[in-house]
Amino acid sequence: MLITGGRVKVMTYSENGNSRLLYMLSSGDLFGEIDSYVEHSPDIDVICLTDTQVVMIPTQLFKATIAAQHELYNHLILSIIRKYQIIRSQLSDTVFRDSRGKIAALLLRLCSQEGVKRNNFCEFYHLKHHEMASLAGCSRVTVTRVLHEFMDQGILGIEKNKIVIFSETLLRQQFIQGTRT
């Protein structure tokens, strides 16, 4: 499927119903592309965050198009690599960082993936705290506490439905560099 408008989140679930947000996708992103090559994983759900338009590409047409057009093949590979890197970073952060480091890394990742740069600031759509907790691998309460700490330190602000990072450098220096155990 190709997203032509809107935003979705991709979730995975355990057998007992626990969920984990893997990543978010928006216009121009693919999902389900791996299902063209391997059997669909039943523990993955794609959930719309906004009104979303998608184009469903039949498997045979998808494979034929990818085989015939080198640029689309590169786009497919980059899409898969990007998702792999996001999940690898999440796993590494969950295992090796404290809660502040996990949330700082998440904020920097969201800034890099979805952020808009304005006046040396980076702003992006403010996720719900439980979604941030799922992405960072910590509790919703911890996300709320750490975000308030970062606001008190002047590192970020929350305006309407956006998070604004005032200093990516400060966030990286204070909470990312040297926080791996």
Domains contained in the chain, number: 2
CA–CA gap between residue 47 and residue 143 (Å, rounded): 22
Based on the fold, state whether residues 169 and 106 are members of the same structural domain.
yes
CA angle 84, 8, 42 (to 5 degrees): 65
The two structure tokens encoding residue 139: 């509790």
Shared domain for 8 and 53, answered yes or no, is yes
Q: Is residue 33 part of a domain?
A: yes
Contacts of 89 (CB under 8 A, 6+ apart): 105, 109
**Chosen domain end from 68, 94, 120:** 94
**141 has pLDDT over 90:** yes
Tell me which of 36, 66, 94 is where a domain ends.
Answer: 94
The lowest-confidence range among 32-41, 58-67, 113-122, 171-180 is 171-180
Nearest to 47 by CA among 28, 21, 15: 21
Burial class (CB in 10 A: 0-12, 13-18, 19+), 110: buried
Condensed to tens digits (0 to 9), the pLDDT of residues 66-87 reads 999 989 889 899 999 999 998 8
pLDDT value at 96 more than 70: yes
The confidence score (pLDDT) of residue 95 equals 86
Q: For residue 122, give its domain range.
A: 98-175
